[in-house]
Chains A and B, each alone.
Chain A
Amino acid sequence: MGVKKTKGPKRSAWTEVYLPEIFRGMWNTLRHIFFVKPFTVQYPEEKLKVPGFEASPPGYHGEHRLLLDEEGRPKCVACFMCQTVCPPQCIEIEAMEVDWPDRDKAPKSFKIDMLRCIYCGLCEEACPKDAIELTNQYFTISRTREDKIYDLERLTHNAPDALSYNRPEGLKPEKP
Chain B
Amino acid sequence: MDLTAIEIIATLAKALVVFTAGMMCTPVLVYAERRLCGFMQDRLGPNRVGPKGLLQPIADAVKSFFKEDLLPANVDRFLWIVAPAIGIAVPILCLAVIPFGASVPLTESYTLIFQVADPDVGVLYVLGVVSLGIFCTTMGGWASNSKFPLLGSLRASAQMVSYEIAMALAVISVVMSTGSLKLSAIVAHQNTDWLGVVPEWHCFTQPLAFLIFFVAAVAENNRIPFDLPECEQELVSGYHTEYSGMRFAMFMMGEYTAIGFMSALIVTMFLGGWSLPWIQLAPASGPSWIGGLVSILVFLVKWALVAFTYIWLRWTLPRFRYDQLMGLGWKALVPLGLANIAVTAFLGVVL
Q: Is B317 an interface residue (CB 8 A)?
A: yes
Q: How many residues of A contact B (CB 8 A)?
A: 15
The answer to whether the Cβ of A30 comes within 8 Å of any Cβ in the partner chain is yes
Q: In the complex, which of the residues B41, B44, B316 contacts A25, with contact meaning CB atoms closer than 8 Å?
A: B316
- Who on chain A is nearest to B38 by CB? A38
B312 within 8 A of A: yes
Q: Restricting to B189-242, which residues have a CB under 8 Å from any CB of A? A: 211
As a 0/1 sequence over residues 15 to 53 of chain A, the CB contacts with chain B under 8 angstroms (1 = contact) are 000010010011011101100111110100000000000
Contact across chains for B317 and A22 when beta carbons are under 8 A apart? yes
Q: Are B316 and A22 in contact (CB under 8 A)?
A: yes
Q: Which of A30, A38, A39 contacts B312 (CB 8 A)?
A: A30
The contact of B316 among A29, A36, A39, A42, by CB within 8 Å, is A29
The residue that A32 contacts in the complex, of B41, B44, B211, B317, with Cβ under 8 A, is: B41
Q: Pick the contact of B44 from A22, A28, A30, A38 — CB < 8 Å?
A: A38
- Does A29 contact B38, Cβ atoms closer than 8 Å? no
Say whether A32 contacts B39, CB under 8 Å.
yes
Contacts of B211 in A (CB 8 A): 19
Known contacts A26-B312, A30-B312; A39/B317 CB under 8 A: no
- Say yes or no: A36-B42 contact (C-beta < 8 A), given A26-B312, A29-B312, A30-B312: yes
Cross-interface CB contact of A29 among B40, B44, B47, cutoff 8 Å? B40
B313 pairs with A26, CB closer than 8 A: yes
Question: How far, in whole Å, are A28 and B40 apart by their CA atoms in the complex?
Answer: 9
Instruction: For B211, give the chain A residue with the smallest CB separation.
Output: A19
Chain B residue at smallest Cβ distance from A24: B316
Q: A33 near B44 (CB under 8 angstroms)?
A: no
A38 and B42 contacting across the interface, CB-CB below 8 Å: yes
Complex Cα distance, B42 from A172, in Å, reads 37
Residues of B within 8 A of A19 (CB): 211
B-facing mask of A113-136, CB < 8 A → 1, else 0?
000000000000000000000000
Contacts of A33 in B (CB 8 A): 36, 39-40
Task: Report chain A residues within 8 Å CB of B40.
Answer: 29, 32-33
Contact B43 A25 (CB under 8 A): no
CB distance from B141 to the nearest CB of A (A): 29
Whole-angstrom distance between the Cβ of B223 and the nearest chain A Cβ: 14
A45 vs chain B, min Cβ distance (A): 11
Chain B positions 35 through 53: 1 when the CB is less than 8 Å from some CB of chain A, otherwise 0: 0101111111001000000
Instruction: Judge whether A40 and B316 touch: CB under 8 Å.
Output: no
Is B330 interfacial (CB 8 A cutoff)?
Answer: no
How far apart sit A43 and B313, CA to CA, in the bound complex (Å)?
31
Say whether B39 contacts A38, CB under 8 Å: yes
Within the complex, the shortest CB–CB distance from A148 to chain B, in Å, comes to: 26
Residues of B within 8 A of A37 (CB): 42
A150 CB → nearest B CB, Å: 31
**Residue B315 lies at the interface, judged by CB distance under 8 Å to chain A:** yes
Contacts of A30 in B (CB 8 A): 312
A33 to B316, CA, bound (A): 12
B114 to chain A, nearest CB (A): 32
The complex places the Cα of A40 from the Cα of B40 at a distance, in Å, of 13
Bound form: Cα–Cα A39–B40 in Å: 12
A29, A32, A36, A38: residue with the most chain B Cβ atoms closer than 10 Å: A29
Residues of A within 8 A of B36 (CB): 33
Cα(A22)–Cα(B313), bound, Å: 9
Q: How far is the CB of B63 from chain A (nearest CB, A)?
A: 23
Q: Which of B294-340 touch A at CB < 8 Å?
A: 312-313, 315-317
Distance in angstroms between the alpha carbons of A149 and B211 in the assembled complex: 67
Determine how close the nearest CB of chain A comes to the CB of B81; give it in whole angstroms.
Answer: 39
A29–B310 Cα distance when bound, in Å, is: 13
Distance to closest chain A CB from B49 (angstroms) = 14
Expressed in whole angstroms, the Cα–Cα distance for A29 and B36 within the complex equals 10
B218 to chain A, nearest CB (A): 12
B44 touches A40 (CB 8 A): yes
Residues of A within 8 A of B47 (CB): 42
Write the B75-108 contact mask toward A (1 if CB under 8 angstroms, else 0).
Answer: 0000000000000000000000000000000000
Question: Are the CB atoms of A38 and B43 closer together than 8 Å?
Answer: yes
7 A-B pairs closest in CB distance: A33-B39, A29-B316, A40-B44, A25-B316, A40-B43, A29-B40, A32-B40
Interface residues of A (CB under 8 A from B): 19, 22, 25-26, 28-30, 32-33, 36-40, 42
**Which residues of B pack against A, CB within 8 Å?**
36, 38-44, 47, 211, 312-313, 315-317
